[in-house]
């Protein structure tokens, strides 16, 4: 007589080997959606892992004794800092095939913070007097980021559209966050006299950061 057969979900080998990356199409660990024949919408299986697994990949080692990474984009481009033999701090940009230093012209120290998928790097540098200034960098070109009238500025985050967030110290002697969108600066302040720093922005223009309360006598 007639029978109903339900095909068991087909698992790729990376599911069973507990690989943290599947080599199958779209990175799936299974081929069928097991609940589909029962009218249930279920996604392909996640890996059969009971612990966190990491890929250990060495990047370009720039520093004499220090190399720190602060940002990475979806193209595996990485930004960070390193020290030279004299102890001076430089920025760097590393891709899967190349590596280069990032040194803002005339700066005594350069610190890249983040890089977006189009290759825009943001960060800050210290001028000859040790004052921080924000900057952006792409394709070998540097652009300054200084909040108008501020004592100092630092850029910390950039999204896919090139919107930049950071912080500055104003002439009111308070620290403020900022958003730079299409060459227009907007101040971001947490209420009640808190220091405000904007550290990251996503493609939906949601901004995160942190605050610290001022105390006076």
Q: How far apart (Å, rounded) are the C-alpha atoms in residues 33 and 162?
A: 38
**Residue 30: both structure tokens together:** 């299974």
pLDDT at 217: 43
* 178-202 per-residue burial string, b: 16 or more CB within 10 A, e: under 16: bbbbeeebeebbbeeebbbbbbbbe
pLDDT at 47: 54
The angle formed by the CA atoms of residues 153, 76 and 47, to the nearest 5 degrees, is 125
pLDDT at 89: 94
**Residue 63: both structure tokens together:** 């520093």
pLDDT at 32: 56
How many other C-beta atoms are found inside a 10 Å radius of the C-beta of residue 61? Answer: 10
pLDDT at 96: 87
Residues 127-155: pLDDT tens digits?
A: 999 999 999 999 999 999 999 999 999 99
pTM above 0.85, yes or no: no
pLDDT at 156: 98
DSSP states of 97-141: S-EEEE--TT-SEEEEEEE-TT--EEEEEE-TTS-EEEEEEETTE
pLDDT at 141: 97
CA distance readout (Å), 24 to 44, 105, 118, 153, 211: 11, 46, 27, 46, 44
- Low-confidence residues in the chain, pLDDT < 50: 5-7, 49-51, 216-217
115, 75 in Cβ contact below 8 A?
A: no
80, 99 in Cβ contact below 8 A?
A: no
Residues 61-71: pLDDT tens digits?
A: 666 788 899 99
pLDDT at 58: 59
pLDDT at 35: 56
């Amino acid at each position: 007589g007639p029978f109903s057969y339900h095909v068991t979900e087909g698992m790729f080998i990376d599911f069973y080997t507990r690989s943290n990356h599947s080599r199958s199409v779209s990175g799936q660990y299974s081929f069928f959606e097991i609940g589909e024949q029962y009218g249930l919408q279920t996604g392909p299986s996640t890996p059969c892992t009971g612990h966190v697994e990491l890929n250990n990949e060495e990047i370009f080692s720039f520093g004499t004794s220090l190399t720190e990474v602060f940002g990475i984009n979806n193209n595996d481009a990485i930004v960070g800092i390193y020290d030279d033999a004299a102890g001076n701090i430089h920025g760097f940009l590393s891709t899967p095939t190349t590596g280069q230093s990032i040194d803002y012209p005339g700066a005594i120290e350069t610190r890249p913070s983040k890089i977006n998928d189009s290759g825009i790097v943001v960060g800050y540098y210290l001028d000859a007097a040790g004052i921080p200034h924000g900057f952006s960098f792409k394709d070998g070109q540097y652009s300054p980021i200084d909040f108008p009238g501020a004592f100092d500025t630092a850029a910390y985050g950039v999204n896919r559209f090139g919107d930049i967030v950071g912080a500055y110290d104003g002439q009111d002697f308070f620290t403020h966050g900022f958003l730079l969108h299409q060459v227009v600066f907007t101040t971001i302040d947490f209420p009640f006299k808190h220091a405000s720093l904007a550290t990251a922005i996503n493609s939906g223009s949601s901004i995160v950061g942190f605050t610290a309360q001022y105390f006076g006598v």
